Amino acid sequence: MSPTPSRVLVLNSGSSSVKYQLLDMRGGDRLAAGLVERIGEKSARLKHTPVGGESREWSGSVPDHDAALKAVAAELAKDGLGLDSPELAAIGHRVVHGGKRFTEPTVVDDAVLAEIERLIPVAPLHNPAGLAGIRTAQALRPDLPQVAVFDTAFHTTMPESAARYAIDVETADAHRIRRYGFHGTSHAYVSRETAKLLGRAPEDVNVIVLHLGNGASASAVRGGRCVDTSMGLTPLEGLVMGTRSGDMDPAVIFHLMRVGGMSADEIDTLLNKRSGLIGLCGDNDMREIRRRVDAGDERARLAFEIYIHRLKKYIGAYYAVLGRVDAVAFTAGVGENAAPVREAAVAGLEGLGLAVDGELNAVRGDGARLVSPADARVAVAVVPTDEEMEIATQTYALVEKER
Ligand code: ADP
């Protein structure tokens, strides 16, 4: 008798890229990982790494997501991990926008596809890519369950007081305008791992999660359930990010239209692509910004201070939302690696029980770890995120349940 299939392929399809990982859920092992980028451009690039083997790279024509997934399948096949393998249990897809309806990972059928499509107006860049990934995977393995794991799902537990904007209710509802939040897979995973690090059950722990990558968001998690998050209708709201402005007076937009003569599309590009750290100082990579700050560069210093000021405001706000905070967890590229960001974000918050230990904070490490002093009232933790593992775990749990 053949063993029960236990592998999950995770696909994260962006507008011009596909990231993937193949995992074996029996032991939680990663078997292969890779990335196709610049899809649809003159020369796309694929990088494939079988675990324990040499990475392979090539550049060439990859006109669309269909071609990208076929190229991924061909690379996996070279390592004996092809999509035709009977050991593959399911394909898990990251889907950015699940609206109000998708509160959990969901096996894809025609109705689910139609609903993801219906949400395109609120996620015009992201949902079409997710759909393309699902459709191609379905064509390659029509017999396999395809599971959609939504970036918004973890945030659907937010109370109306946090999820609604204070605008006319009829107008908001007619256009499905509300705060949905994103990076949910990461906030879910990191809040749970933080509880584990504290040796407590997630239900007993209140955590502020700071997901600081190129995109960045904060969330307030009470007993394992999200009660507030900083991104809103789209990922533009909240923290200062690599290229996004985060919070600002919405009247800036009317001003740019009326006085600056800019179109809606131009302002969209300005606020999403040319603002945040890159707009403030010309760089969005925190490593480069810190190098410039250390060299005495004034613009970089101001950009860093604006970034930290906003972060600190969210820590304070979510402290008030939660009432009692057990831990503040830093994650993603900046949160996991940039000790100066962690130090500056909690500087002066001793009154709230928050502090970092200089030595612990400076040590680089791979796993989840505490960086607060041993006697701190609130733990400050670095908790590496693993969105692919979380998508695979949720996908596998669902197909196991339905088996
Ligand atoms: P995303 O998934 O949003 O693209 P990541 O979570 O991979 O982003 O984070 C990318 C960012 O992490 C980079 O833009 C860079 O600013 C930051 N980063 C990565 N390594 C370091 C480091 N050693 N020190 C400071 N920042 C870092």
Domains annotated for the chain, with CATH where assigned, are 7-150 (3.30.420.40), 199-387 (3.30.420.40)
Annotated catalytic residue, options 79, 109, 151, 265: 151
Cα 12 from Cα 25, distance rounded (Å): 18
pLDDT tens figures, 116-144? 999 998 888 788 989 999 999 999 999 99
Tell me if 293 CB under 6 Å of ligand 1. Answer: no
Give the pLDDT confidence score for residue 293 in this predicted structure: 98
Cα 338 to ligand 1 centre (Å): 9
pLDDT tens figures, 141-170? 999 999 999 999 999 999 999 999 999 999
Give the pLDDT confidence score for residue 264 in this predicted structure: 96
Cα 214 to ligand 1 centre (Å): 6
Residues ≥6 apart with Cβ < 8 Å to 379: 194, 197, 198, 326, 327, 328, 370, 372
Tell me if 83 CB under 6 Å of ligand 1. Answer: no
Tell me if 213 CB under 6 Å of ligand 1. Answer: yes
Of the CA atoms within 13 Å of residue 239, those in its CB half-sphere come to 29
Cα 89 from Cα 59, distance rounded (Å): 30
Closest ligand 1 atom to 215 CA: 3
What's the mean per-residue pLDDT of the chain?
95
Is the pLDDT reported for residue 1 higher than 60?
Answer: no
pTM, rounded to two decimals: 0.94
Residue 2's pLDDT band (boundaries 50, 70, 90)? low
Cα 290 from Cα 292, distance rounded (Å): 5
Cα 24 from Cα 205, distance rounded (Å): 30
Sheet holding 369-370, edge to edge: 225-229, 216-222, 206-212, 327-331, 379-382, 369-370
pLDDT tens figures, 352-368? 999 999 999 999 888 99
| Percentage, residues of the chain above pLDDT 90 | 91
pLDDT tens figures, 203-245? 999 999 999 999 999 999 999 999 999 999 999 999 999 999 9
Give the pLDDT confidence score for residue 365 in this predicted structure: 84
Cα 4 from Cα 24, distance rounded (Å): 12
pLDDT tens figures, 172-199? 999 999 999 999 999 999 999 999 999 9
| Percentage, residues of the chain above pLDDT 70 | 100
Q: In angstroms, what is the C-alpha Rg of the chain? A: 21
